[in-house]
Structure 1
Amino acid sequence: MTGNQPAATTQVFRVYIKASPEQVWEAITKPEWTDRYGYGGLTDYDLTPGAPYATRPSRAMVEGAAAQGMPVPDVIIDGEVVEADPPRRLVLTWRMLMDPGLKAEGFTRLSYDLVEKDGSTRLTVTHELTGAPQLAELVSGRLDDEAMGGGGGWSWVLSDLKSLLETGKTLAQ
């Protein structure tokens, strides 16, 4: 992807983490973990198919946004559990609520697939983004060097998760 080409409508990210699938699963599904890496936020799951879930901003996220004059909603990501097979597969609908334009794009589909591989876990994240071009651009990581900052998308989130599980520290620490 170069120039003005749009971000792909299905994006696949893979990382190998020196941790068990159970440890990676906990880090993905438990709020005491979800707030420690990536962009943070406290995600609460009822892993029953059809159950809603929500990610709430952490105190640090709310305070940081307020310092920049940007309000943060009470829920920043929401969706529904489509499939849960701990610690192997989690499929969700996923909607970003922090920006009216992203919210208007509606729900996308997000899958986490975990496979034990030689004492490590191969984690594959597949984000199906059809009909969500702004979100596709954001999660692709292509906005990482933009003046307003867009972050490194899923690549950065997964790198941060890997660092935390392997070293006990995030990339920023």
Structure 2
Amino acid sequence: MTRETTRFVYVTYILSTPEKVFEAITKPDVARRYWGHENISDWKVGSKWEHIRANDERSVELVGKVIEVSPPTRLVISWANASQADDPASHSRVAFEIVEYEEMVRLTVTHDDLIAGSGMANGVSNGWPTILSSLKSLLETGKGLDVFAKPKAA
């Protein structure tokens, strides 16, 4: 039986350089400022990466492997909840494509091989727009968004 998969694609344009965008994704101290998490790895093909909550608990929430890296234009990683790290079938894939456009870059994030209807698929469709909007805000204004904010009650 073949599992049904889905993908999520998000494209944004950022007044920045490819180097700064790539650094924002891969440098823990920068990621903390717009994501509330740190992405920890040596960013070499085959190396593990961990997504660690930047709070007192420092919990590892996501894990994966570096699949492809070509700074500052492309990064591809596998992606899974830390609790499912040993189950390859639960891993999805995230590709970051960074293309220079004069004074800005186009950042395309493609998160694919998601199990259709899964909690992960639902989570990333809500999470990526917030995270990438915060990344854009940080690089353009120096301040990220509150990615943990909740909608105001009506």
TM-score (norm 2): 0.82
Which of the residues 56, 78, 96 maps onto 2:52?
56
1:74 Cα offset (Å): 3.0
Change (3 A) 1:77 1:101: closer
Counterpart Cα distance in 2 of 1:168 and 1:27: 12
Give the superposition deviation at 1:47: 1.7
Q: List structure 1 segments (4+ residues) > 3 angstroms apart after TM superposition.
A: 100-105
The residue aligned with 1:90 is: 75
Contact 2:66 2:78 in 1 (8 A): yes
Separation in 2, partners of 1:157, 1:130: 18
* Aligned-residue offset at 1:88: 0.5
CA distance in 2, matches of 1:131, 1:10: 9
Computed over aligned residues only, the root mean square deviation of the Cα atoms, in angstroms, reads 2.3
Residue 143 of structure 2 aligns with an amino acid whose one-letter code is K
Aligned to 1:24: 21
TM-score between both structures, scaled by the size of structure 1: 0.74
Q: Which residue of 2 aligns with 1:159?
A: 133
Equivalent in 84, 87, 92 of residue 108 of structure 1: 92
1:19–1:46 Cα change, 3 Å: same
| Superposition deviation, residue 102 in structure 1 | 10
* SS state at 1:79 partner: strand
Say if 1:101 and 1:85 are closer, same or farther in 2 by CA, change over 3 A.
closer
Identity %: 39
* 1:2-49 per-position Cα deviation (integer Å, ceiling 9, x unaligned): xxxxxx8111001100000000011000000111113x1121122211
CA contact (8 A) 1:95 1:107 kept: yes
> How many residues matched?
141
Please identify which structure carries the higher strand content.
Answer: 2
Alpha-carbon distance in structure 2 between the residues aligned to 1:136 and 1:102? 16
Structure 1 residues 25 and 78: CA distance shift in structure 2, 3 A: same
Corresponding residue for 2:41? 45
Q: Does 1:123 align with 2:107?
A: yes
Structure 1 unpaired stretches of 5+: 1-7, 63-72, 142-152
